Amino acid sequence: MDKIKVAASGIDTLVIGFEIQEYLDTECFEMLTEAKEKAGERMFNSKGYGLEWFGVEFSISARGSKGYEWVLRNADVTVCIAREAKGGSIMPEVYVTFSSQNLWANGPEKAVSDFTQWLLGWAVPKNNRVSRADLCLDMEMPFPVLNMETEVVTHARVKAEYLESDKLEHYLNCRKHTGYKFGQGDLSARIYDKTLEITLKQKEWMREIWKASDWDTKSSVIRFEFQCRRHFLKEMGVTTFTDLMDTLADIWRYCTSNWLRICDKGSETNQARWESKDYWQIIQQSFNLFGQANGVIRMKAKQVRYDHLIRQIRGCMVSAVASLGSGMGSVAGMVKLKQDLYEMFTSEEFKDDIAKRQGLVSNIDTPSNHLLETALKMGAKIEGVEWKE
């Protein structure tokens, strides 16, 4: 393969919900309500109505969105605002999508800091939580044509080829491969020709970002992108924006080393032993571009329902007493069962079995206690475990 080098790395999409303790002046919303009504008038063709709100220019939509009364947009952010402040008890009262151009031009820290300072002018934020973050690496290199069956090793259940200008998941542009998609839902990935995409979607400003890394303006730039949503981020210990920035390197390392790899097919059937392609090794080693790696491990909690287990246990106990009752009577059978259960609960063997099972109920991708123990000895830390009811 021809020369390969990194052209850019960063967060391309960021969505954060802000929990609001209180609004400083609810009368300021009257301006939004009036502008929203004007946005719905035919003369504006439902494209929104321009207004300045707390010193910032926006266009307000004629309709709200999913529980949010007002939706404001400009080149930097899309802001959804709920009418009442309830401290995030139902949902984040302010839901913000930071534009790609804003994130690349200013960096995520400044983009979020600037918005937060503006937010403080009319609200009292309580907490923030990240709903989505798209991490990406742009590589100056020819487009990699993949054999989806023999070169892709991934936990994703969905794999597809696609082209940006088409709605279909699998197609070619003049018989030329232009993109791949892996996974869906909480974690997904895309590999695609970014030079083609910025032309189709008129994102020419991205070329200036690449030029800062000595892009020759002619070579193809391929984007490797991971879309991380709320549930996956929580498994990586990310709740707030600060958590995200502290964990970016670990997220990138997990995505490129555990969840998805592009490999040369080896002679062994164990795909874990297949060697990553040269360009993929560069991608894996680029985790340091996202900050310091702290050894964070993805913790996945299996969906174990306590009430369901209790019902199963009750059924087993009824059967046990019934089998004993035929010989000694139901009352004597219940007494014996109680004695047997007490002896079992107080035994060291039972306690050891509980400890082992806990390592399987809340585990990393591959249930392996020795792997977890080894990682902890190497300085890894468990950021959190989410239990599902």
* Angle of CA points 378, 232, 305, to nearest 5°: 95
DSSP 83: S
Which tokens hold the place of 380? Answer: 């890894």
Confidence tier at 80 by pLDDT (50, 70, 90):
very high
Among candidate residues 70, 120, 58, 121, the one with its CA nearest the CA of residue 95: 70
> Which stretch of 4-18, 22-36, 353-367 has the lowest confidence by average pLDDT?
353-367
In the predicted model, what is the mean pLDDT of the chain?
Answer: 85
Sorted by sequence, the CB contacts under 8 Å of residue 142 that are 6+ apart come out as 1, 2, 220, 222
In this structure, are residues 256 and 139 in contact, taking their beta carbons and an 8 Å threshold? no
pLDDT at 361: 46
Among candidate residues 233, 171, 222, the one with its CA nearest the CA of residue 197: 222
Q: What is the pTM of this model?
A: 0.75
Most distant pair of Cα atoms in the chain: their distance = 89
In this structure, are residues 198 and 213 in contact, taking their beta carbons and an 8 Å threshold? no
Confidence tier at 386 by pLDDT (50, 70, 90):
low
What is the C-alpha to C-alpha distance for residues 172 and 124, in angstroms, rounded to an integer?
Answer: 50
pLDDT digits (tens, 9 = 90+) for 256-281: 999 999 999 877 778 778 899 999 99
pLDDT digits (tens, 9 = 90+) for 194-244: 998 888 888 899 999 999 999 999 999 999 999 999 999 999 999 999 999
- Please state, as a whole number, how many other Cβ atoms lie within 10 Å of the Cβ of residue 136: 20
In this structure, are residues 12 and 228 in contact, taking their beta carbons and an 8 Å threshold? no
Confidence tier at 383 by pLDDT (50, 70, 90):
low
In this structure, are residues 247 and 296 in contact, taking their beta carbons and an 8 Å threshold? yes
- Could you tell me how many residues make up the chain? 389
Measure Cα distances from 236 to 190, 284, 296, 376, 381 in Å.
20, 18, 7, 15, 11
**Residues β-bridged to residue 6:** 139
**Which residue type is seen at 33?**
T
Name the residue with higher pLDDT: 144 or 357.
Answer: 144
